[in-house]
Structure 1
Amino acid sequence: MPAHDLTFVLGGARSGKSAYAEQLALAGPAHTVTYIATARIADDEFAARVAHHQARRPPHWLLRETPLELASALAAADGPGHCVLIDCLTLWLANFLCPPEHAAADASADYPAQLVAFETALLHATGQIIVVSNEIGLGVVPTGALTRQYVDELGRLNQRIAALSPRVTLMVAGLPLTLKTTPAATDA
């Protein structure tokens, strides 16, 4: 069963996916927007990327930084009249498969349960939900085992979220390409 008001936005690096998702949140009916950021900042270059995203967002949007516990963050931010923008699943998955060196335990063991919990949270959401992810499966097959595992897992993750989503958009060169639009159910 697809989630009620879920939009999944995919694209490559610098495709415009985050900016497009932000435009959807701004144009939506929600009074409250919560931006859930999954990134872990590891160096100055990545901090500059994050700062670019932050500068683009309205200052009144709420922010939750959530590298792993996405289901609970979504449940806490969701509600009627709310919009939750999750950016992005690409980094969320990387946090499980490539945890920081100082992480105490192997986070990848938690991923299957966290994924099921996230899917359940999406299905029970009552507000507008926008999820962003990278489409990285259009290139050559990577040579390293960890990179191949990551590409495979992200492809599977994207397929699962796309199946739950009534609307799926692929961003290419800043242009939205509609991949899926399921008409909303009407009350009889």
Structure 2
Amino acid sequence: MPEMRPDHPIEPRTGAILVTGPARSGKSEWAERLARDSGLTVVYVATAALDPEDAEWCARIEAHRVRRPAEWLTCEAPSALVAALAEHDRTGHCLLVDSLGTWVANWLEAAEVEWAAEVERLLEQLGRTRAPVILVAEETGWGVIPAHPQGRLFRDRLGALTRRLGPRCAASYLVSAGHAVDLSRLGIPID
């Protein structure tokens, strides 16, 4: 199997990278590879919160922990993503956020005006961040429209967020079926 190498290796101050794709596509592994290849100290910003009542969820979180190199730093930020990015923004660091979908889910109870303000804070922080940031996001809108309002709200908020992030990122990758596609090089931006 040929070794995977990104066409746009991360260099300090290159900006954010968005890695998106469906469930179990390999997006987290691709983002981890980009972070590892940066040669920088990786700070893994975990947006999931442990729920001791949900054994399957805990197993998923543990699988991510086991896969990460021991020398990576971990910052748990289920809802305080903006503060975590600001706190760990240092020259020599690469910040890996996994995942935006979980972060959005943690904000679902917020009113629309509060959510919109938090998205603006995130975009502003990403614009100020000196360290490279890799953002992992799920693609949820490729299937049926959720039957429940909360599911539709989640899908709409995450889709709108990734659409706003994509043009601001130095690179955007779509990962599907274990392959990463560089959307920045192959795609045509939509105004």
TM-score scaled by structure 1?
0.86
Give 1:181 deviation, angstroms.
4.1
**Among 154, 158, 170, the residue aligned to 2:162:** 158
Among 23, 27, 31, the alignment partner of 1:21 is 31
Measure how far apart 1:45 and its partner are: 0.5
- 1:63 positional shift: 0.6
Structure 2 partner of 1:66: 77
1:75 counterpart residue number? 86
1:37 to 1:60, Cα distance in 2 relative to 1, 3 A: same
Q: Are 1:126 and 2:130 matched, yes or no?
A: yes
Deviations 1:48-103 (A, max 9, x none): 000000000011111110011111100111122110000000000000105xxxxx
Gaps of 5+ in 2: 1-12, 187-191
Structure 1 equivalent of residue 104 of structure 2: 93
Corresponding position of 1:101: none
* Offset from partner CA, 1:12-57 (integer Å, 9 cap, x none): 1100000110011110131x11000001222111000000000000
| 1:185 alignment counterpart | none
Q: What is the 5 A alignment of 1:105-184?
A: 106=110, 110-181=114-185
Distance in 2 between the 1:66 and 1:151 partners?
21
Unaligned stretches of 5+ in structure 1? 99-105, 183-188
Q: Deviations over 1:108-156 (max 9, x none)?
A: 6632222111111111111111000001111121222221111111110
TM-score (norm 2): 0.85
| Total equivalences in the alignment | 172
- The alignment partner of 2:107 has SS state of helix
- Could you say which residue in structure 1 is the equivalent of 2:42? 33
